[in-house]
Structure 1
Amino acid sequence: MAPDTNTIPGYTIFREGDYDSASAAAFIPDRVPHPLDIPDQLSIIEIPAAAQLIREWASPKLLKFNCITLREPTKSEYVAYKEGHASRPDRRAFAIVIEQQGSGQISEVVVNLTKSKVERWKEVKDVMPTLTLEDLDIMERISRKDSRVIEACRGLGITDMSKVFVDGWAIGVDERWGFERRLQQGLAYYRNHELDNQYAHPLDFTVIADTEREEVLSVDIRYVNGERTAIPLTEHHYLPNFIGDKYKHDTLKPIDITQPQGVSFQVRGNELTWAGYKMHIGFNYREGIVISDVRMHDPYEDRDRALFNRISVVEMVVPYGCPETPHHKKHAFDLGEYGSGYMTNSLKLGCDCKGAIHYMDGVLCTGKGEAAVIKNAICIHEEDNGLLYKHTDYRDGTVVSARDRKLIISQIITAANYEYGFYHTFTLDGTYKLEVKLTGMLNTYCMHPSEQAASSPYGTEVAPAIIAQNHQHIFSLRVDPEIDGHNNTVLQSDAVVSKDPLGSSENYYGNGFYCEKTPLRTALEGATNYNHETSRSWDIINPNRLNKVSKKPVAFKIVNNACPALLAKPGSVVWKRAAFARKSLWVLPYKDYELYPAGDYVCQSTGDENHPDNLTIQDWANRNESIENADIVCYIQFGLTHFPRTEDFPIMPVEPVSVMLRASNFFQRNPALWVPPSALCVDSISRNAFPACCSGGESKNLPKL
């Protein structure tokens, strides 16, 4: 029996028995198991095995599986195993299940796969889990058949419902319904033909539906002066079929990336090694890429040193800034409401990735508990990164110049209209950088002839009768640091002017300034914002280890100046739901399985504090526990405020935004001095040599290093 590739676009689904076949073997990596391959994702064998154990436990109830994912061991278990003090932790799965009859009760389940038993079953109340791709598909299917939707379309002159397309979105909060229904909102568009751009033809109504009952609850039509808004029918294309002879094929010459001796990294199981770094690469339905157990070799101490226990993107929010109906309900939490893993693209060489690529597949589950594989979900490759360091001695012409290189671990997701590329990057000087590239389609809406976008502050008319609203993209990067040891502290670093007055003996010329270091001692102190005036950054230090040269604690510095303030008013729906986005940084004591700052259950969440089954980052901070010289975790918010441009339509050029953590007094000197220089040249008169970097020749009579 061959795997079914047709149920969910982009997924390869394995039906019962497939995982024993030769076809399934192609999706199981040919590898030697590594003893530290614990944080890996579940395999196509483990997912249906977990589903079967859960069904047997719940029988005769019928269940739908919202997720089946790895239940990572507790940190203490993992550390004890790594250090040789304990046996390998049992392999466990975590699942969220929905009863398909009666109440629609939602439960959390922990399955011990090593012992083949259900260890924990917990019912949760007044929460709604992630909307999967299968759930989102329901919206369009039922909308096309609903009499109220058909009537709304007829009012616009649409009689062919196959030309109506409805993007399913999480709804946030709708006062008409509570937690008795699992809700979606549908944003409606029109396509005149198969390849038409639907976002050029937005319709003037939205659909509200019950995902579980597959029932349309309401069709909300927006009237302007008592009138409907006609469909903007002008076509705005971006596909090659329509660009045609407007492409300039001869202007750009090909760029080829070759590595004739192969790549410099190695992948064994899910352990990745490169240029002194070692780390593990995992993947799950909610966070997508998870990077764990990051270490780097110190060439001066000749040992591997711990940097980070775990890194992942755990949430993002896209609040729209137009208060008018229906835009007030548009604030997407793309990770918490839909799952980064579920939305991941299957990457294509030459399109999404270029060069010598190593791919990893993503393994997820379907609502039936089957294993689903996203081929090439993760791309790993190297790129040249420009100068690593350079110096020219103007006296004798000596030039030393080394090239930097970066290792990139990436995925791309499609969240309805938007695409997000996540690029986790490591460079040779001890720097980690997360860059997010935003592209895809603007969320658009139709304008009534009486409306003037130029007089409205809330959006831009990107094409005649088509408006795109102002919005923000705020991401949350969770960093579980392990800076040369388990206990760390965060220092807030501000550039301040010397307090000594102008003309004083201590600051006679008035030019003194220094870095003021403020330790963040409690969780509420650890909730802090960026300050442009003081070029604020934060140092994650190990107060128990001093740099032998600087006599300062070893540290990694958080560099984050792309952190816009959440612009929703305090007390508003999105302000309450996106508590994490109110601060640039939160520092908290580490606790097992506290991961998601907007709550474990984001769909239909209210953001109210102290929800027993859905605590958020504000609840964690309110405990106000010590974060000084402790096992801590940092939530770093970064992003951008997007005022749409006509250049963003019909398809948006990439908009990059990034955050960085880099070694700061961690090493005794530049850790990349081992990198061979690209050119070492001396003046031809004084040293009887010629400049190799300029002439392309080899340097002669060079001084020994």
Structure 2
Amino acid sequence: MGPDTEIIAGYKVYNEAAAADYDQSTTSSKTAEVHPLDQLSIPEIALAAKVVRAHYSNQQPATEVKFNTITLKNPIKTEYVAFRDTNGPRPDREAFVIMLTKAHCAVNEVIVSLTQEKVLEVKELHDVLPILTLEDLDICERVARADPRVVVTCAEIGLHDMNEVYFDGWAVGADERYGFDRRLQQGLAYWRASGMDNQYAHPLDFAVVIDTEREEVLRIDVRRVGGKRVPVPRVQHNFLPEFVRDGYVSDRLKPIEITQPEGVSFSMKGNELSWAGFKMHIGFNYREGIVISDVSVHDMYEKRQRMLFNRLSVAEMVVPYGNPDIPHHRKHAFDIGEYGMGLMTNPLQVGCDCKGAIKYLDAIMSTSQGYAAVLPNAVCIHEEDNGLLYKHTDYRDGTVVSARDRKLIISQIITAANYEYGFYHTFSLDGTYKLEVKLTGILNTVPLIEGEEAVPYGTKVAKDLNAHNHQHIFSLRIDPAIDGLNNTVVQNDAVSSEIPIGNAGNLYGNAFYCKKTPLKTSKQGACEYSHETSRTWDIINPNKLNPACEKPVGYKIISRESPSLLCKPGSLVWRRAGFTRKTLWVTKYREGELFPAGDYVCQSTGQPGWPSNETVVDWSERDDKIENEDIVCWLQFGITHFPRTEDFPLMPAEPLSVMLRASNFFEKNPALWVPPSSREADAASRDLDKCCEGTEKRGGVGVGGGKRGSKL
């Protein structure tokens, strides 16, 4: 590594000189040769920063800037679709830059043409504040440790070495004591007995409020019980191998090896991926992390590639905590809108985070100085066995047909302070897309004073430790293109027949059917989930009928893990996280509407009709026509988490998921192109023979065929 690059928090940072050298050493970095949806390259980030610096240095007076974000500006959809589908002109590469005037909170959006190397547009914003970067979060800990008032606050509970005190930087939510002239964060305080200690076993009884730009402590909020300070919990709860390896049971599990001797079944051309008839583009940005675009599938019956989705991404999430005491009322983290899922991504490791034959993609971010920062192995792409794909046994003659399913997984894992989230975008051989989220990491804890109860708003997970009730609610943004850009959403409800029992048409009272309700306007497109009717939604193309059933082709939204937001209507969280009020929103597509909680979530108030920060609630209220239109679906899903002792000190992964499945899209089962499995095809056939010995004698069949020993 040369003198012009350095490693910071796992990122390899390229300053201007290193970016220039990189530009000279590779031809793939030239803007004319990259895909229009590819993330910005190292030299493109350096170029965007250079153009912006030059623009502001020419102002009177010259302005010193701090870069918050340098990322790809998505091409205009109509122009990109023309390029993709009809060989139209290649869209210009443009950068979207969010910057701050140094030491102040003036926010500017700048659009830079990388093709023309000039500023195209500058917009000054008011009453909004941008995302907190990793560099901003580092400021919180450094400033809090050095503040004399914080030192005294720690000394009051017996902590005299500030090197043992740590602060997790969190967005402050909204604090009525301050306005938009201060860029705030709160620091949650912990103690560590050593550098390897689990700090979340030792939470402290106070939080600090920090001005990020002026680098000063504004407030120390101490939680007292009966006027008393809460002692530091001292019991160790360490989980690293150095502390627990003596308790490992090494003889219970034998090794599992995953091999693909002929290589993987997917191929990549740049960031365009092909697998088992699927084609798609894999993008990445600081906020959404993985972005999957141009998803299409090959129809074996129609003998053509058919579009499914223009774009899929996890666009927002919120984690509201349920304890009403100050300062815990401020704990409702928007991990995408306030911190950025891309910025919090882990560098993945073979054998730990992913197994098998793996393709990794790096992520390219930017720093406050405008340098490119590369995170290696940010995205993992691999295949896994997915169990049974289809099977049928003829009970008369014993013939069997069955096949194994397989899934392609595009994944990333993020660390949001104490929590980890694994995001797994999964495609399977029957044309299904599934987003699975796995929650793990460590519970957010607070200390208990002797005699204090954790209930009703939390769980005592260990001595003197309370873990508060909370929710995790995610928003999947679906930009559909089901056989074309114009689509409609139809709501499906399983209902009993209206015909009374005993009457003609329902003589025995067993009749039920699927009640279908087309959503015609964006107000109608704001929908709740209904467990009583097993509610689903079809995204259909009303302009194309399936020749087998003569119904519109479609893909079905299946989301059964849809908790309601438990904060009271009118509350701060209810206002700020308006997207959680409905399970599904359907809006008409408009350029730039990407984030359901608004472009600027930090310190947002959630007031309706806020021009600088409109949300999906505002978009729904426009009451646009959404029938047979270019639409966007916003799907909410998640869990309500009442902590258990088993969740501490390290939480076992808890999965949740949503699915998009073909619904009258294909003429018949699209997985029939997959050959049936057979014993001979299994590399472990000898072991299989052993485990299946006696099957024929019992009247059963082995895997993939064979007849029963006797008739039933």
Band of TM-score, shorter chain? over 0.9
Matched residue, 2:652 = 653
Shift of 1:33: 10
Matched residue, 2:144 = 143
Matched residue, 2:51 = 53
Change (3 A) 1:152 1:23: farther
Matched residue, 1:332 = 333
CA contact (8 A) 1:522 1:628 kept: yes
Map 1:45-194; keep pairs closer than 5 Å: 45-59=43-57, 60-84=62-86, 86-101=88-103, 103-194=104-195
CA contact (8 A) 1:169 1:186 kept: yes
Shift of 1:34: 10
Output the CA distance in 2 between the equivalents of 1:346 and 1:112.
Answer: 31
Matched residue, 2:18 = 18
Tell whether 2:344 aligns with 1:346.
no
CA contact (8 A) 1:401 1:680 kept: no
Superimposed CA distance per residue, residues 483-502 of structure 1 (whole angstroms, 9 cap, x where no aligned partner)? 00110000000000011111
Shift of 1:3: 6.5
Change (3 A) 1:22 1:74: closer
Matched residue, 2:564 = 565
CA contact (8 A) 1:500 1:506 kept: yes
Matched residue, 2:532 = 533
Output the CA distance in 2 between the equivalents of 1:33 and 1:217.
Answer: 45
Output the CA distance in 1 between the equivalents of 2:92 and 2:111.
Answer: 12
CA contact (8 A) 1:171 1:330 kept: yes
Change (3 A) 1:126 1:31: closer
Superimposed CA distance per residue, residues 442-470 of structure 1 (whole angstroms, 9 cap, x where no aligned partner)? 000001113122xx210000001100000
Matched residue, 2:501 = 502
Runs of 4 or more above 6 Å deviation: 28-36, 689-693, 696-700
SS at 2:208 equivalent: strand
Map 1:190-209; keep pairs closer than 5 Å: 190-209=191-210
CA contact (8 A) 1:598 1:616 kept: yes
The aligned amino acid for 1:61 is: T
Output the CA distance in 1 between the equivalents of 2:374 and 2:561.
Answer: 35
CA contact (8 A) 1:403 1:678 kept: yes
Map 1:582-601; keep pairs closer than 5 Å: 582-601=581-600
Matched residue, 1:542 = 541
Output the CA distance in 1 between the equivalents of 2:508 and 2:33.
Answer: 61
Output the CA distance in 2 between the equivalents of 1:32 and 1:677.
Answer: 46
Residue identity over aligned pairs, in percent, reads: 62
Tell whether 2:2 aligns with 1:2.
yes
Map 1:423-462; keep pairs closer than 5 Å: 423-453=424-454, 456-462=455-461
Map 1:294-693; keep pairs closer than 5 Å: 294-453=295-454, 456-679=455-678
Output the CA distance in 1 between the equivalents of 2:606 and 2:24.
Answer: 43
Change (3 A) 1:284 1:615: same
The aligned amino acid for 1:247 is: Y
Change (3 A) 1:6 1:444: farther
Change (3 A) 1:693 1:46: farther
Matched residue, 2:685 = none
Shift of 1:29: 9.8
Shift of 1:690: 8.3
The aligned amino acid for 2:74 is: E
CA contact (8 A) 1:36 1:82 kept: no
CA contact (8 A) 2:390 2:403 kept: yes
CA contact (8 A) 1:419 1:439 kept: yes
SS at 1:581 equivalent: helix
The aligned amino acid for 2:666 is: F
Matched residue, 2:689 = none
Superimposed CA distance per residue, residues 252-285 of structure 1 (whole angstroms, 9 cap, x where no aligned partner)? 1111100000000001111000000000000000
Superimposed CA distance per residue, residues 236-266 of structure 1 (whole angstroms, 9 cap, x where no aligned partner)? 1110000021111121111110000000000
CA contact (8 A) 2:478 2:632 kept: yes
Superimposed CA distance per residue, residues 666-689 of structure 1 (whole angstroms, 9 cap, x where no aligned partner)? 0000001110110399xxxxxxx9
How many residues are matched? 688
Output the CA distance in 1 between the equivalents of 2:574 and 2:181.
Answer: 24
Matched residue, 1:284 = 285
CA contact (8 A) 2:477 2:635 kept: yes
Output the CA distance in 2 between the equivalents of 1:544 and 1:643.
Answer: 46
CA contact (8 A) 2:488 2:627 kept: yes
Change (3 A) 1:296 1:34: farther
Shift of 1:21: 3.7
Shift of 1:393: 0.4
Superimposed CA distance per residue, residues 487-539 of structure 1 (whole angstroms, 9 cap, x where no aligned partner)? 00000000000111111120111100000000110001000100000000000
CA contact (8 A) 2:380 2:410 kept: yes
Shift of 1:15: 1.4
Change (3 A) 1:697 1:503: closer
Shift of 1:5: 6.8
Tell whether 2:208 aligns with 1:210.
no
CA contact (8 A) 1:460 1:467 kept: yes
CA contact (8 A) 1:398 1:680 kept: no
Superimposed CA distance per residue, residues 14-70 of structure 1 (whole angstroms, 9 cap, x where no aligned partner)? 112113447996xx7979999882111000010010000001011121111100000
Change (3 A) 1:225 1:170: same
Shift of 1:547: 0.6
Shift of 1:84: 3.0
Matched residue, 2:259 = 258
Output the CA distance in 1 between the equivalents of 2:462 and 2:27.
Answer: 48
Output the CA distance in 2 between the equivalents of 1:641 and 1:74.
Answer: 38
SS at 1:68 equivalent: strand
SS at 1:88 equivalent: coil
SS at 2:243 equivalent: helix
SS at 2:652 equivalent: strand
SS at 1:290 equivalent: strand
Output the CA distance in 1 between the equivalents of 2:166 and 2:501.
Answer: 68
Output the CA distance in 2 between the equivalents of 1:654 and 1:469.
Answer: 18
Shift of 1:83: 2.9
Give structure 2 stretches of 5+ with no counterpart: 681-694, 708-712
Change (3 A) 1:4 1:154: farther
CA contact (8 A) 2:678 2:703 kept: no
Output the CA distance in 1 between the equivalents of 2:276 and 2:345.
Answer: 28
The aligned amino acid for 1:366 is: T
The aligned amino acid for 1:15 is: N
The aligned amino acid for 2:16 is: E
CA contact (8 A) 2:600 2:613 kept: yes
Matched residue, 1:703 = none
SS at 1:83 equivalent: helix
CA contact (8 A) 1:680 1:699 kept: no
SS at 1:647 equivalent: helix
- More off after superposition, 670-679 vs 580-589: 670-679
Output the CA distance in 1 between the equivalents of 2:448 and 2:705.
Answer: 66
TM-score (norm 1): 0.95
CA contact (8 A) 2:678 2:704 kept: no
Shift of 1:696: 7.7
SS at 1:640 equivalent: strand
Matched residue, 2:37 = 39
Give structure 1 stretches of 5+ with no counterpart: 682-688, 701-705
Output the CA distance in 2 between the equivalents of 1:33 and 1:298.
Answer: 34
